[in-house]
Amino acid sequence: MCYRGGWSRILTSEIVVGDVISLKTPGFENTLKSVDQRCSGDVERVVVPADAVVLRGRVVVNEAMLTGESTAQVKESVEERGGGGRLDVEEDKKIIVWGGSSIVNHKSGGGISAVPQCSDGGALGYVFKVGFETQQGKLLRNMAYTENEGGTTSTDTLIFILVLLFFAFLAALNVVQQGLLDPDRNRFKLLLHTIIIITSVVPPELPMELSLAVTNSLKSLMDKNVYCTEPFRVPLAGKIDTCCFDKTGTLTSDEMVLKGVVCVDGGRMTALQGNVGEVEEEVLHVLAGCQGLTVINGGKVLGDPLEKATLEGTGWELKGENEVGGNGEGGEKSIRIVHRFGFDSKLKRMSCVIADDKLKLKLVAKGAPEKLKEFFNADTVPEDYDKVSMAHMAKGRRVLALGTKALPQDVTIGKVKTLKRSDLESNLTFCGFIVLTCPLKTDTTPVISELTSSGHRCVMITGDAVLTAAEVARKVGIIQVEAENTLELVKDGKEWRAMSSSTPSHTFKHEPDNIQFLPSLVKKGYQLCVSGDALVSLLSSSGSSLLSAPSLKLLKAVVPHVTVFARHAPKQKEAVIAALNAGGKFTMMCGDGTNDVGALKQAHVGISLISVPEVESKTRNAMNAVDLLKRIEKLERKLVKAKAKKDGDKEAEITKQINKLRKKSRKLKAGEGGFREQIKKLKEAEEALDNVHLGDASVASPFTYRGTSISCCKMIALQGRCTLVTMLQIYKILGVNCLVTAITLSRLTIVGVKQGDTQLTALGLIVAGLFFFVSVSKPLQTLSTTRPPSSILCLPALASIITQFCIHLTFMTFTVTASLPFLDPLDASTIPDAAFNPTPLNSAVYLLSVCITVNTFACNYVGTPFTESLRDNKLLSKAILGLFVVMGVCVTETFLPINQLLQLDPFPEWEDRFVNANRAGDMSAEELGEEGELGPVLELVKTLGFKGFLGAVMVADTICVNLIERSIFRKLLGGD
């Protein structure tokens, strides 16, 4: 519905900037059923058609299609923004619904719009962007028009083709010179033949073969639930050397586990109190009231997992829109949220104005301890404030400071919305810390370990505190040193200090003019951490934006040496990736949420994960339960053996261990149904992931994984290496074959070498089949420390092509030399412009050409450590073996119908040479038979016979190219 002087229904394609539209929940009339189905994705979603500012009401939207964040986002009306000034799409996200997001729930009423309420009861939105100018439109435009930056660049391809053209022109020049010497040669056919030589050297099938390799890789990734919107990035994944990860939702689960609250008592911090429901009412009000959760029809609570975990820990619950209730001092209590200042990634805090049962207004706030500290009344901040917060962060926990402030009586609910945020968020009373933790995902540590051991540098880029990020990085293996050897940039970017308070001497002055001291610190065994503020302070001298050229120049000297980037806002994350790219690194970024979108788009390989905390929790609990049951079963077997041996002490010890594990299993309900029940739960979790729509992960990133673990990073890296190596193989194979073709069409045509239509067709089918079998090669299951070559223009690759060509040319020359004496000079087909007629020369050269083609595929197949070996590639190995058998049959003339099908002339005996020579009248048979007149090639023909000589040449060519390629160049190129 659209308002243009009155409400009317129009097509979404007719919406223009300035329209006021109704934003309503799908199936609003059948709310209970529709909400449950919308959350599971079982019904058609109502998608916002344009970017709009909420004028009236409240809208709950799912922005997963745009950001990858599966958590529903609450959008308030513009009245909640407060203050004045122009609209800033970065700062005012809380009042903007983006085109492409789907509406989960809405509430009408409230706001500042004078537009009458729509009859469908929807919230009102003012359209300010449509079409390709919306967030969704920009993403689609990037997907459609992104420049190809594939594994082998366009520049490499152009240079490679120019090199081939150089050889083609040399070959064509030779043909032209020979043709002009012949006065009877048809000049038009000479020109046509020259053009054919040049065009044959530039492989027309190159784009098709490269596309085939990438397409097969895309199919392989899809089979593993990895989807790619920018196929050219697949080979780029084979080049990555730096892997960057977000923390929450990527390395750790999005599920938040509330550890407890640290309160203030007598000017000192108390111990961690696990039972949050028993804390003072003032603290309960902050925990329950400072949140942006919303409850939709049916009672389902949507919002930030951290806030859901906190509210659940207090024992309070949402009783309605903006109303929270639960047990407090003196019985049932409730509070009402009257105004929100949403969480801001730059401010690193949020606050709400609440009204208690007595309608007294109070501001409650939470945020990063180091940021919120400056807003507290100094008299309420304990001396051990920093010590306690840092102690919990050092254990990898997430810590938020809590504050409150009673508002003056003259401040009414209506007046609150007109006051500035900075006026309200001042002189707060410190209430304590809330401590939460995110469980590590089960396969995070093994994947990080394999990436690190294979030579990839792993980096964490997160919005969490430095201490928390560093400890989690240490647990998963990103940081491999203790806290005393982990340095943090402090004092406005002027000093590197050890993160352990026990080693204050580990302090180094930052030297902007001598940036080389950073690699020296890393070589000494230190690992570096940088906060977003420290990063900005480094750029203070440039005075330019994060992504500007001067800033990137400064950043690329620092960023490659840092391991953990903490407290980074979205733009800062993007700047870190851009700086790594500017420093010549090939980057992979893996994330799941809104804050990662810019970095995902900036990285060479951006991977978005699906974030489904409920499914992750169910999977983790089931896997833990299975592990406990296995351990109990193992101990029970030991107990039986101990009883048999009548070893009372051991029996008592094992029984104690079993009882301890059974106690844990009861908490996880692991004993209910045994293994079968837990396996059933795992299958249900897998099915739940399969039912998640692809839209529930960011389309902003080139790669999307329908899963929750970072194992996809390993999959993509393996497939990328396989694709990159396959593409380089294709370049080498086409390069060698095209050079051989140029010689065949130029130099050998002069002496009468031609190929028939059937022969060319058969050779073309062989080449197409072998290329297909090469392109479907599978990657290995483990990453190697050896890296594939990144360009076809590297010296080993070029030297390999030239060497192979020289070997093939040598044996081709031997074959022509051996065949010429058996060629009838009176045969009209030997004239360059004549039609094809089978001769011993044509047949021998054709079979050797087939052999050279097959050898080119066999010797240039790289195999391990990037793809499966030639032996394991059953299709290719069997095809090559079968072709060698067929060539052997043709050379030996064992089955003549094959020779006849391929237009092969019967191979001559030694005596046939004299017959042809006598016809020519050149010399007598006796003269030709003198030993002194025969060269070494003809001596071999006489000794082995023509068939034996041709077979020996083919075997020798096969052995030579494979031996040299595998013993020398394969090692240089990184193959087995």
Q: Are 57 and 28 in contact (CB under 8 A)?
A: no
With 90 as the cut, is the pLDDT of residue 625 above it?
A: no
Integer Cα distance of 246 and 444 in angstroms? 12
Most confident region among 44-53, 242-251, 529-538 by mean pLDDT: 242-251
293: how many CB neighbours lie within 10 A of its CB?
Answer: 20
Integer Cα distance of 113 and 92 in angstroms? 18
Here the tokens at position 749 are 């045509």
Give the pLDDT of residue 618: 66
Give the pLDDT of residue 35: 39
Give the pLDDT of residue 541: 58
Long-range contacts of 862-865 (CB under 8 A, 24+ apart): 862/725, 862/728, 862/729, 862/788, 862/970, 862/973, 862/974, 862/975, 862/976, 863/975, 863/976, 864/780, 864/784, 864/975, 864/976, 865/780, 865/784, 865/786, 865/974, 865/975, 865/976
Least Cα distance to 118 among 106, 130, 129 occurs for: 106
Q: Phi/psi of residue 436, each to 5°?
A: -130, 165
Let me know the angle formed at the C-alpha of 265 by 262 and 270, rounded to the nearest 5 degrees. Answer: 35
Give the pLDDT of residue 370: 86
Q: Poorest-confidence range of 42-56, 184-198, 541-555, 672-686?
A: 672-686
Residues marked active site are found at 246
- Fill in the amino acid letter for 961: V
With 60 as the cut, is the pLDDT of residue 929 above it?
A: no
Question: How much of the chain, in percent, has pLDDT values that exceed 90?
Answer: 15
Integer Cα distance of 530 and 490 in angstroms? 8
Phi-psi region of 470 (alpha: psi -120 to 50; beta: other; left: phi over 0): alpha
What mean pLDDT do residues 128-136 have?
86
What mean pLDDT do residues 33-42 have?
42
496-533 pLDDT, tens per residue?
888 775 555 567 776 666 667 788 888 888 899 998 88
pLDDT band at 636 (very low <50, low <70, confident <90, very high): confident
The secondary structure of residue 914, as a DSSP letter, is: H
Q: Phi/psi of residue 958, each to 5°?
A: -60, -45
373-426 pLDDT, tens per residue?
989 988 899 988 988 988 888 888 889 999 999 988 888 877 887 788 888 888
452-511 pLDDT, tens per residue?
999 999 999 988 888 888 889 999 999 988 888 888 887 666 788 887 755 555 677 766
Least Cα distance to 732 among 845, 881, 858 occurs for: 858
Let me know the angle formed at the C-alpha of 419 by 413 and 422, rounded to the nearest 5 degrees. Answer: 130
Let me know the angle formed at the C-alpha of 629 by 627 and 633, rounded to the nearest 5 degrees. Answer: 120
SS (H, E, C) 214-236: HHHHHHHHHHCCEEECCCCHHHH
Q: Are 539 and 554 in contact (CB under 8 A)?
A: yes
150-198 pLDDT, tens per residue?
445 667 778 888 888 888 888 788 778 877 877 777 788 778 878 877 7
With 50 as the cut, is the pLDDT of residue 29 above it?
A: no
Integer Cα distance of 958 and 857 in angstroms? 11
What is the residue-averaged pLDDT of the chain? 80
pLDDT band at 331 (very low <50, low <70, confident <90, very high): low
Give the pLDDT of residue 672: 52
**Pairing assessment for the beta strands 51-56 and 226-228 based on DSSP bridges:** unpaired
Integer Cα distance of 868 and 876 in angstroms? 11
Least Cα distance to 528 among 559, 572, 492 occurs for: 559
Integer Cα distance of 159 and 776 in angstroms? 27
- Fill in the amino acid letter for 428: L
Residues, the chain, total? 976
Integer Cα distance of 218 and 815 in angstroms? 43
What mean pLDDT do residues 128-137 have?
86
Give the pLDDT of residue 45: 65
What's the number of CA atoms in the CB half-sphere (13 Å) around residue 418? 5
Least Cα distance to 66 among 786, 424, 595, 484 occurs for: 595
Helix (H) or strand (E) holding 340: strand 331-344
Helix (H) or strand (E) holding 840: helix 840-860
More confident residue, 632 or 888: 888
DSSP, collapsed to helix, strand or coil, labels residue 584 as coil
Give the pLDDT of residue 706: 81
Integer Cα distance of 423 and 413 in angstroms? 15
With 70 as the cut, is the pLDDT of residue 665 above it?
A: no
258-285 pLDDT, tens per residue?
889 999 887 888 888 888 878 888 888 8
Give the pLDDT of residue 587: 93
Distances (CA, A) of 157 to 169, 203, 742: 18, 11, 19
559-587 pLDDT, tens per residue?
899 999 988 888 888 889 999 998 889 99
Give the pLDDT of residue 153: 60
Give the pLDDT of residue 922: 42
Residue with tokens 């040319």: 809
What mean pLDDT do residues 811-829 have?
80
Integer Cα distance of 891 and 212 in angstroms? 33
pLDDT band at 682 (very low <50, low <70, confident <90, very high): low
Greatest CA separation for the chain: 129
Strand order in the sheet with 587-591: 226-228, 703-705, 605-609, 587-591, 242-245, 457-461, 562-566, 527-531, 486-490, 495-498, 507-509
With 50 as the cut, is the pLDDT of residue 813 above it?
A: yes
pLDDT band at 445 (very low <50, low <70, confident <90, very high): very high
Instruction: Give 766-782 as a DSSP string.
Output: HHHHHHHHHHTPPBPSS
Q: How far apart are the first and last CA of the chain?
A: 65
Q: Poorest-confidence range of 186-195, 591-600, 636-645?
A: 591-600
Least Cα distance to 62 among 693, 614, 600, 597 occurs for: 693
With 60 as the cut, is the pLDDT of residue 33 above it?
A: no
Here the tokens at position 1 are 């519905």
What mean pLDDT do residues 604-613 have?
80
Integer Cα distance of 378 and 372 in angstroms? 12
With 60 as the cut, is the pLDDT of residue 40 above it?
A: no
Here the tokens at position 320 are 């309605």
With 60 as the cut, is the pLDDT of residue 549 above it?
A: yes
Q: Phi/psi of residue 703, each to 5°?
A: -120, 140
More confident residue, 23 or 148: 23
Integer Cα distance of 749 and 832 in angstroms? 6
What's the number of CA atoms in the CB half-sphere (13 Å) around residue 392? 27
Q: Poorest-confidence range of 380-389, 883-892, 933-942?
A: 933-942
Residues whose CB is less than 8 angstroms from the CB of residue 71 and which lie 6 or more positions away in sequence, other chains included: 254, 302, 303, 304, 305, 611
Q: Phi/psi of residue 188, each to 5°?
A: -65, -45
Integer Cα distance of 541 and 59 in angstroms? 43
Phi-psi region of 834 (alpha: psi -120 to 50; beta: other; left: phi over 0): beta
With 70 as the cut, is the pLDDT of residue 741 above it?
A: yes
Give the pLDDT of residue 85: 66
56-103 pLDDT, tens per residue?
888 888 776 666 555 677 788 887 665 566 777 777 788 889 888 888
Establish whether the linkage from the previous residue to 865 is cis, with ω within 30° of 0: yes
Here the tokens at position 727 are 């593409």
Give the pLDDT of residue 415: 82
Here the tokens at position 896 are 């003549």
With 60 as the cut, is the pLDDT of residue 850 above it?
A: yes
- Fill in the amino acid letter for 926: E
